[in-house]
Amino acid sequence: MAEEYKALIGGEWVGSTTGETMDVVNPATGDVVAKVAKCGTAEVDRAVQAARKAGPGWASKTVAERSKVLLNLSRIIMEHHEELAKLETLEHGSPIRKTMNFDVPLCAEQFEYFAGIARAMTGETLPVGPWCTSMTVREPLGVVALITPWNFPALMVVWKLGAALVTGNTCVVKPPSIAPLTTLKLVELAMEAGVPAGVVNVVTGPGETVGEALVSHPDVAKVGFTGDTATGKRIMSIASANVKQVGLELGGKNAFVVLPDADVDSAAEGAVWAAFFNSGQVCAAASRFYIHESIYDEFAEKMVALAVTLRVGDPRKMETVIGPLAYKEHRDKVEWYIESGRKSGAKLLLGGQRPDTDETRKGFFVAPTIFGDCRNDMEVMREEIFGPVAGLARFKTEEEAIGLVNDTPYGLSASLWTKDVRKGLALAGRINAGTVWINEHLIIFCDTPWGGCKQSGWGKDLSKMVLDEYTMTKHIYIDLTGERVKPWYGLLK
């Protein structure tokens, strides 16, 4: 029988007022593995009020006190390393080699990082004049709503939660409906680490009810959202009614450019990583590959040869590299894009079908797929597929390549592959994206800012810049003259 999970409100585990639940399905098998509370607007309001009540006490703690809680949480996460990894593999389908070696250790590392950078939160003294002291201070925003995606269920909530907590905010988290279990476990560990009741609340439920209620709630000061661009636009629209702060980390259609002087072997290795890590379910995954015509055939051959060796199968096995897609409807959507690529005239170089093995038949698997000779007007080159699908195209000149890269409504990331670093830097400056890698793709560190431009959103996660996202800068002016009547009062006489 599937285990039942409840929401967390004010330090207590509670079901929905209606008693309804949602199924959590293992994407590797199609089996229901858990049921979670299907909350609604009543639970959202209770959670927001619990966060609001807990706010003054949490904000009044010193940065050192809040940092110690995060450091404690980092340690406890690693004590539950295997449990968290297995839970994420169960609900999301990420291979255990990834959840054990990447997701869970990074969650611990990032809480540790946020605990450290909090000490960089300083104000300024402004030299207005000798008659006053003018200064700025940082204050928490209040209650923040964190709406997180399903592609990295644990890691994406940590990105936002760590920054929000260490800056003194209280939180209401809406985890992804299809993969909420690791978030619920993380907040259980957060309470064990010393996070007071009400400081973090988790409300599970559909985006159209729970998500919209959070965004529209008058007592929510900010919404931090990672997800698709269409939902981001909807959040902006709803939040505008209360002039609410919104941080948006949205979709991408990321380019991978291989210049004629590039190390083709290195670029091909990087391409397979960039396209197929996490089954391509990464906002920064490379899906548009622009290869100089002089090396196109060599590159395509080497990329295909590397991709065909990737083991697709049971994500519980350490040797598995490619797991299933996160849910059935998403698998069907990715397959629709593959069929679109075929119909539009792209040349299928690899994949394009469901793997047919004992380990994959019941799950939502799609084999790594590579199309060649693509045009920029094809759907596979224009729309975010969010799956293991790569499109390759040729270019003749650097000018043409930059034009192709920027011919997109998105602006999250891109990469350039060249042995001439000076050329790489010059071309990087002409690409409209929040991150441009040179001779690398899809590598993100705690210390580096993450966020895009255009329809990939605005605002930053990670790095010291995230402190600006979760605090308000307040200006304070102190008169030093002691005079009852100031000279400028004369302007009214």
Q: Give the active site residues.
A: 249, 283
Cα dihedral across residues 270, 272, 274, 278: positive or negative: negative
How big is the chain, counted in residues?
A: 493
Burial label for 362, CB within 10 Å (0-12, 13-18, 19+), is middle
- Tokens standing for 93? 């389908």
Q: Contact, 410 vs 454, CB < 8 A?
A: yes
**Within 13 Å of residue 357, how many CA atoms lie on the same side as its CB?**
13
Q: Residues 6 or more apart from 175 whose CB is under 8 A from it? A: 148, 153, 157, 183, 184, 202, 204
